[in-house]
Chain A
């Protein structure tokens, strides 16, 4: 079989390749231009839309501000009320009802025990001194104080008194009674109503 012979000279071949490259370059530059025009157009449109939206929002905000300024008196009285409401809320959330404490204590004192002095030495503690007819009455008083099942306890106050420490007991020969001094711990959180 005879082989094909390329009779085109070498310098002509390189010239043809050069022409092909130049044509390709022209096409690529045109495609690039078209793409760039497209992207630039897209960004231009997006930014215009955003600026338009921003302008509309500005005028809406100004209109709202103007309406709000007309109600400045209402705003001031609303703010004053809110400030005082917050203070009231804090006060009520931290307010201990000592009347409940005294009431509950009174319920748990046996008939033959009397309280001579009471001091709220520190939050959550009472120092109590008094008289009882005998040592057993003192023991009964102490047990009743911390009795979580005390039948006459006030609502939610069954576990008000958490601990009792008997610091001293003395027999008074003159009155034939037992003097006592106790320190009672109580759960102050229960007294916040």
Chain B
């Protein structure tokens, strides 16, 4: 009995090989190709966002290193900016500054009072109002037109920043001086930022608008008023008053 090799060959070629090929094709499609088609866009998107994050962190590190390199300049700028916009209300110091400016301008200060408030300064892209916290000061004084003008000018050139919100004056027929009332606003801002690793740091001390603002602040006159100075002045004034009253 001869073994039928032709039949076996026919069985492999015509039946087994096609079955196995189609089987492997199906398995490869289900286990490799189809999952890859779904996974590939997701992985690409992931990689794109990681590239973006890496670039962002790279830029942030460069910014921080540049700030570190110019630390003394940044510290000086921080100090200047804090002089212009106080971190707290510091009402006594503010009133003393306004009083000093008024007297330096030649005005006679009659009354000075303050309160706290908020002012709208801008509207952002989403339509929300941006506000600043302010100390509102009411000043009543007497002087000439020139003194009033000088007071306004000295106020505008002073650091801490003080804005004139409203003013009016009228002639006192007895003294022939102007009775003037100013409503002033001085913004203050407490900042307490935290380090958020992935968030960018936008400060660029070489940018034109930053340099312009800092130069403007540098041009303002700083009134170095501290609580100790105010106490000393009050004490001196009291001593002078005492000695005047005791002198016959």
Contact = CB atoms under 8 A, between A and B. Distances in A.
Contacts, number: 209
A64 B17 contact: no
B171 A84 contact: no
Contacts of B163: 91, 95-96
A80 to B, nearest CB: 4
A22 B164 CA distance: 98
B78 A81 contact: yes
Interface stretch (B37-45, B93-101, B231-239): B37-45
Contact of B18 (A26, A68, A78, A117): A26
Contact of B193 (A80, A88, A119): A80
Given A23-B14, A44-B32, A61-B57, A80 B191 contact: yes
Nearest to A90: B121
B54 A57 contact: yes
Contacts of B60: 68
A84 B189 contact: yes
Given A30-B17, A83-B191, A102 B145 contact: yes
B116 interface: no
Contacts of A77: 67, 74-75, 78
Interface residues of B, number: 81
Contact of A57 (B33, B47, B149, B213): B47
Interface in B55-79: 57-58, 60-61, 63-65, 67-68, 71, 74-75, 77-78
Interface stretch (A45-53, A148-156, A163-171): A45-53
A64 B25 contact: no
Given A71-B64, A81-B81, A87-B132, A97 B156 contact: yes
B164 A98 contact: yes
Contacts of B53: 61
Interface residues of A, number: 67
A60 B32 CA distance: 30
B13 A26 contact: yes
A95 B50 CA distance: 43
A112 interface: no
Interface in B189-246: 189, 191-195, 197-198, 201-203, 209-210, 213, 216-217
A53 B50 CA distance: 10
A60 B54 contact: yes
A4 interface: no
B47 A53 contact: yes
B122 A43 contact: no
B28 interface: yes
B169 interface: yes
Contacts of B22: 29, 32-33
B84 interface: yes
Nearest to B146: A106
Contacts of B75: 77
A60 B61 CA distance: 13
Contact of A98 (B130, B167, B201, B210): B167
Given A26-B14, A71-B68, A117-B171, 17 more contacts: A32-B22, A43-B33, A46-B36, A54-B50, A57-B50, A58-B50, A61-B50, A65-B57, A75-B193, A76-B194, A78-B64, A78-B201, A83-B191, A84-B82, A84-B189, A98-B167, A102-B145
26 contacts: A19-B14, A26-B14, A29-B25, A36-B25, A39-B33, A47-B43, A54-B47, A57-B51, A60-B54, A67-B61, A69-B197, A71-B64, A77-B78, A78-B67, A79-B193, A81-B81, A82-B202, A85-B81, A87-B187, A89-B209, A98-B164, A99-B152, A99-B155, A115-B145, A118-B168, A120-B168
